[in-house]
Structure 1
Amino acid sequence: MTVTVPYHCRYLEPIGVLPGVGPKIASLFERKGIRTVADLLYTLPARYDDRRLVSPIAALEPGRPATVRGTLIQVRSTGGRGRLRRTVAELADDSGTIAVVWFGFAGQRFAKGDRVQLSGPVDSYQDKLQLQNPDGDIYADDLPPPATIVPLYSELEGIGQRTWRKLQRVAGERFAGDWIGGVPAPLRERSGLLTVGAALGFLHQPPADLPGDVEKLLTPDSPPLRSLIWEEWFVFQLAMQLRRRLFARATGIAFHCESSRLDALLASLPFSLTADQANTWREILADLQSDRPMHRLLHGEVGSGKTILAVLAAFVAAQSGYQTAILAPTEILAEQHWERFSRILEPLGVSCVLLIGTEAPPKKRRLKDLVRLGSAQVVIGTHALLSGDVEFPRLGLAVIDEQHKFGVEQRAKLVSKGVRPDVLVLSATPIPRSLALTMCGDLDISVLREKPGGEGKVTTHLMTRADRVSMYREVADRLRQGRRGYIVAPRLAAATEGQSDAVQLHAELKNGPLAEFRLEVLHGKVMPEARRRIIAALAAGELDAIVATTVVEVGLDIPNAGLLVVENAERFGLSQLHQMRGRIGRDGAEALCLLSYDEASGEKSLERLRLLASCHDGFAIAEADLKLRGPGEMMGARQSGLPPLRFGKWIQRELSLLEDIHRAAAEVLAADPALADPAHHWAKMVALQRWGAWLGEGGYG
């Protein structure tokens, strides 16, 4: 059963229902993603023009917008037609005069002698002040325009500010008045919130008697914007927790594996599980043995051993007669998984295959036949797994690695290849607690903090671009000592001066400071056979280092790699750098990480890199990254493929607010699990309207 939306809101009507919006205007708005009345109303002003304060011309300063009143003592048109036309005027008041210029049609309605109020930016041209393209009104001597706060919207070609304001006013009057939103009235009143309609009306038409700085209206502290943020997050949290309840009610697969077989597998491993791994494995095994579908997120420290738990889960599924699909974001990671799964499971009679897009068509056809016949018990691959001709007769477990790199539709497509399979989601780096709570509330969460076998000491040094000669001298010394390494460039194709790409950097190093060493270049476009040869050569000591893009970020597991160089490190996130750093020192020996950065990148970038150099705790780094970047930026990964959270960009340091909203949603559902109370009617309706398709993802509705 899928979730359907049982009603239609008027504000979801296409924007063409508004007077004056024909196909041409509608197409202009569509370029900005504005298709419905709601889209229009949710497009907030970029800033405000406070026209309550009228300045004398003599007090105007260049570079500052102003509102002035006076008489046009001269008006003339020059130039060509249409947009090439220019209207030049001179405005006078009791204190002086100023030139005014309009481009295009804007100035054609003004004439000499008009009494006007004009608002716009003041510039200097040929040592004289002028108003450029001001907005304005003509008024009678005894009836000047009312003092107002005028919203100004982002530029959109073909849509003037007057059109913006007119349409926002009409949309608000016709559609927003009864727009309550999803926060129940008792909770809304207790939290001091406005309805969605009232909040939008306030922001699009602020009252003239508004005290204080009007620009504060567009900060999270303003009551109307706070109300919109609150409502959006509350509805999202409701949907998240409703989704979790849907999972809990569904009937899935109860796997069974003889304990002796599982014990034999564990005994065959060349290591013992850490206490963290053992505890998490008990959680996963309980999920597998339950007849409720597993939906679990496993995240933790880099190198904490998440993959082996997926191997164990796949073994249990195979012993129960079911297939496992493992979806990886890159071919390199998929290949590394295939090698590890095959090494452990093939000796126990579990067939593992690798299905990636760059394999030759005949081989792909043979592999797909193995999957379709059920002969392939563990199928590891990239987006190629999602192809319609990849058919699983008994898919019981879906493992999604680096899930934030896949959209909702892609994840749902994999899950839909089975009948309510168990789902295990892996994240290579720790997720901050507050984000895990608010953005992953539909999943059970397991955390790994402990690293198997301890960890080698990794020393991190920051190097400026000016230090590159000495940096590569140090790299050469390390390579002569037999340490193998990764040298990472930020992207494949260099577009700006001073930023290395892997191919060019490889050529530079091979013909320069590292000429004596065996180097290869590795990036996502290297063909599979060549890629496997390069990785195997590095592991066997036949190469000294690889020059790569961020393909080393995940998947590469070469224990004796002890050197990492990252060029333009300021361009990477903290967690991404920590993840790359986790590729070295895995043999317990000392390792060296060198982060080269551009001094012109600024103090904030340097602050982040200093933090990384001084800290090796992935959880602390994730929390620090959250504080530096804010949840508004970091939440994007979890949103992949979901309808946008429109007000995420306003949430920067509002972690406590997110947690408050999460608790409020939990309390509402605890008291009324079905949202059957009339007070919760709109909460349920809005949650279904915004998130209904997501709630039904994978057939769990």
Structure 2
Amino acid sequence: MTGRPESLFPLFAGIETLEGVGPKTAQLLEQIQITRPRDLVFTLPHSGIDRARRVSVRDAVLPQVITVEVEIGKHTPSRTKGGAYRITVEDAGTSFQLVFFHARGDYLQKQLPTGQRRIVSGRVELFDGIAQMVHPDHILPVDDAEEIPLFEPVYPLTAGVSQKQMFKAVQGAMKRLPDLAEWIDPEQKRRANWPDWADAVRAAHAPQRSEDLAVTSPARERLAYDEMMAHQITLALARATLRRAKGRESHGTGRLQARVMASLPYTPTGAQMRAIEEIARDMAQPQRMNRLLQGDVGAGKTLVAFLALLVAVESGGQGVMMAPTEILARQHLESLRPMAEEAGVVLELLTGRDKGAERRAKLEALARGDIQVLLGTHAVFQKDVEFADLRLAVVDEQHRFGVRQRLELGQKGASADVLVMTATPIPRSLALAQYGDMDVSVLDEKPPGRLPIKTAMVSTTRMEEVVNHLRRAILDGRQAYWVCPLVDESEVVDLTAAEERFKHLRAVLGEGNVGLVHGQMPAADKDEAMAAFQAGRTAVLVATTVIEVGVNVPNATIMVIEQAEIFGLAQLHQLRGRVGRGTGASTCLLLYRGPLSEAAERRLTTLRDTEDGFRIAETDLEMRGAGDLIGTAQSGLPRFRVADLERQARLMAIAQSDARKLMSDDPGLTGPRGKAARVLLWLMEQDRAIRLISVG
């Protein structure tokens, strides 16, 4: 099947092929990403209005929406232009008024002739003791009463499109629903009590009561599951593609690892030992490893990654470790060099700065196999970089490295195992959505001897005290970070914020004591400022958030975050993790400008009360929602129309195991359920996945 299946053609036609949708409405709908009948099918009502028939308005608790049969009485046109045109009407128990503004009298005389009976439905309110229905939503002859649904769905709208138009367009799209073969595991479907796909769509658009609008209603849950399932099949295909590329079996001898272990001043945590066992086991398999190493700030990922690289070296091959920036690549070099020396392993750094003869020499040594572990930025992926025998690629800080890049990496080291490290604890539902193609190792213990970081909230009105506290700390030989916020997108403004703070602190703490690093500086100056701070030549480093990832200065024990209230929780947690890396007790001061909004207060108090990154991430997810949490645009996180990642986390886990099972039972998706799953992929527009099957 190379193209979209014919059964789906009607759903993928232009939106103006629907009855009652002209070019103008089509243009308006495009603003809310509706361009085809398919998009209407997945735009579910977000609430509903009870339009069940009443006998009378008399006993109703007002204001509320009421549907009632009335006899039409006297018309009272407005005395002023655009004023209220009133029509008195009588139901079975009382009389009330229908009110219209900017009304055309002749039109209303025709619609609502005195003496006739009509069904009217709309919101009734009391004004000066008189019940009024202003601009009824529905006015119908008694014989057409059933045109008003008893419970009317309410859709998300865009300016210029009314509920009526939207309802009509959706009804048009519903007429095109094909009957599709089932792609969900029959047992799962039976247990969850889910309807067939087309029935689920119809039920979701025709709620009978408010419970039918909940994410837990069977029809909605099924449609959410379909989205997750399509996404997880895509990830399972990416995983299969990576694994299909024949892996190398790398059997470590443990010899080099033992040397490094023996030299450590502490015992690795149980979580670290577990992770390295899982990784070594994967590396010994003939399929390629595709594993995520997820650990909280300071959980000791670097050691695990290095031991994994040693497995590659012990088995006679090479390893590469990739960092997102040059600063971090150099830092890996610093922290790994002592371990590499213990193990007797040749470690080199390759970045964009290596030029000419020096670069050539490194590339030759790499191609000969003389360099056993290479560290670098994405420069290690350039065309002319060739390894003698690449066994393992470790990728640090995943955020700039989505599924697509993972597939590309798969093509480069034709059979290298892949280990991705992320320092951002991610709640399980999101980890599954983002990294569902990977197996996950979690480091959830802190290495022994890490002291807790004392976190306090301090109002900016107490700035003087904070600066005095700093002055004393510097005299004791301690170092501090001072983070200035990125106030808005324009770097210029931030710059002045950081530079002002820098000048102020320099005036108070002494010229040579304060360094500055921000996004606009040339790379060399940035490295210079960082190096001076790392070497202890400057005591305070004023920075915009360029320092959040991975910087390691064990002697830095104070973190001041200015305007902490405008940072996200995960970011605050990352920044705090820059201190508490040495033997000294550390503090983190959250400087805020009052009064705090409720959300800001919750963020800051959560941070103050816990250091558990996974708990922080769960709170963050509850507060912000999934898209914001990892920045949907570049995260590779799917944009779901129906599924709700926060509230349906459990479904994502089921979808992952269902998708993986389907792929292992039917790798080519050629059986009956496999074919149905292909239709699902087309329906959900997972084109990348479809390409993978057609080439696979």
TM, length-normalised to structure 1: 0.78
Q: How does 1:182-221 map to 2 (within 5 A)?
A: 182-206=183-207, 210=208, 212=209, 214=210, 216-221=211-216
Q: Which moved more, 1:189-198 or 1:6-15?
A: 6-15
Shift of 1:436: 4.7
In 2, Cα distance between the equivalents of 1:364 and 1:38? Answer: 55
Aligned partner of 2:115 in structure 1 is none
Q: How does 1:178-257 map to 2 (within 5 A)?
A: 178-179=179-180, 182-206=183-207, 210=208, 212=209, 214=210, 216-241=211-236, 244=239, 247-255=242-250
Shift of 1:558: 0.5
Aligned partner of 1:686 in structure 2 is 680
Secondary structure of 1:174's counterpart equals coil
Aligned partner of 1:163 in structure 2 is 165
Q: How does 1:257-276 map to 2 (within 5 A)?
A: 274=269, 276=271
1:78–1:350 CA distance, 2 compared to 1 (3 A): farther
Q: How does 1:499-578 map to 2 (within 5 A)?
A: 501=494, 503-508=496-501, 510-511=503-504, 515-517=508-510, 518-578=513-573
Equivalent residue letter for 1:182: W
Secondary structure of 2:305's counterpart equals helix
Aligned partner of 2:88 in structure 1 is 92
Q: How does 1:246-325 map to 2 (within 5 A)?
A: 247-255=242-250, 274=269, 276-314=271-309, 317=312
1:68–1:605 CA distance, 2 compared to 1 (3 A): farther
Asked if the contact 2:516–2:543 (Cα under 8 Å) also holds between the matched residues in 1, the reply is yes
In 2, Cα distance between the equivalents of 1:528 and 1:201? Answer: 58
In 1, Cα distance between the equivalents of 2:567 and 2:298? Answer: 19
Q: How high is the sequence identity, in percent, across the aligned residues?
A: 32
Shift of 1:486: 1.5
Q: How many residues align?
A: 672
In 2, Cα distance between the equivalents of 1:230 and 1:642? Answer: 16
Q: How does 1:479-490 map to 2 (within 5 A)?
A: 479-490=474-485
Deviation string 1:434-490 (CA, Å, 9 cap, x unpaired) is: 655676443222232444452124211122444444444434433343321112233
Shift of 1:507: 0.8
Q: Which moved more, 1:87-96 or 1:58-67?
A: 58-67
Asked if the contact 2:242–2:407 (Cα under 8 Å) also holds between the matched residues in 1, the reply is no
Secondary structure of 2:177's counterpart equals helix
Show structure 2 runs of 5+ residues with no match.
113-117
Correspondence 1:615 to 2:610: yes
Show structure 1 runs of 5+ residues with no match.
80-85
Deviation string 1:618-667 (CA, Å, 9 cap, x unpaired) is: 34444555566676875877992254233343x53444454455566667
Secondary structure of 2:350's counterpart equals strand
1:268–1:119 CA distance, 2 compared to 1 (3 A): same
In 1, Cα distance between the equivalents of 2:333 and 2:55? Answer: 72
Aligned partner of 1:10 in structure 2 is 8
Aligned partner of 1:37 in structure 2 is 37
Asked if the contact 1:182–1:234 (Cα under 8 Å) also holds between the matched residues in 2, the reply is no
In 2, Cα distance between the equivalents of 1:385 and 1:8? Answer: 45
Secondary structure of 1:175's counterpart equals coil
In 2, Cα distance between the equivalents of 1:53 and 1:259? Answer: 78
Q: How does 1:410-449 map to 2 (within 5 A)?
A: 410-432=405-427, 436=431, 440-449=435-444
1:642–1:582 CA distance, 2 compared to 1 (3 A): closer
Secondary structure of 2:175's counterpart equals helix
Deviation string 1:371-427 (CA, Å, 9 cap, x unpaired) is: 69956876655566677x676566654332222343333443344333243211111
Secondary structure of 2:215's counterpart equals coil
Shift of 1:170: 1.2
In 1, Cα distance between the equivalents of 2:634 and 2:181? Answer: 25
In 2, Cα distance between the equivalents of 1:607 and 1:252? Answer: 47
Correspondence 1:49 to 2:42: no
Secondary structure of 1:578's counterpart equals helix
Equivalent residue letter for 1:90: R
1:684–1:654 CA distance, 2 compared to 1 (3 A): same
Deviation string 1:236-282 (CA, Å, 9 cap, x unpaired) is: 44554565455555412334777656666667778775554344334
Asked if the contact 1:75–1:110 (Cα under 8 Å) also holds between the matched residues in 2, the reply is no
Asked if the contact 2:238–2:407 (Cα under 8 Å) also holds between the matched residues in 1, the reply is no
In 2, Cα distance between the equivalents of 1:596 and 1:284? Answer: 41
Correspondence 1:652 to 2:646: yes
Shift of 1:232: 2.9
Q: How does 1:449-464 map to 2 (within 5 A)?
A: 449-452=444-447, 454-464=449-459
Asked if the contact 2:245–2:414 (Cα under 8 Å) also holds between the matched residues in 1, the reply is no
Aligned partner of 1:83 in structure 2 is none
1:524–1:564 CA distance, 2 compared to 1 (3 A): same
1:200–1:423 CA distance, 2 compared to 1 (3 A): same
Equivalent residue letter for 2:156: S
In 2, Cα distance between the equivalents of 1:371 and 1:53? Answer: 81
In 1, Cα distance between the equivalents of 2:676 and 2:398? Answer: 32
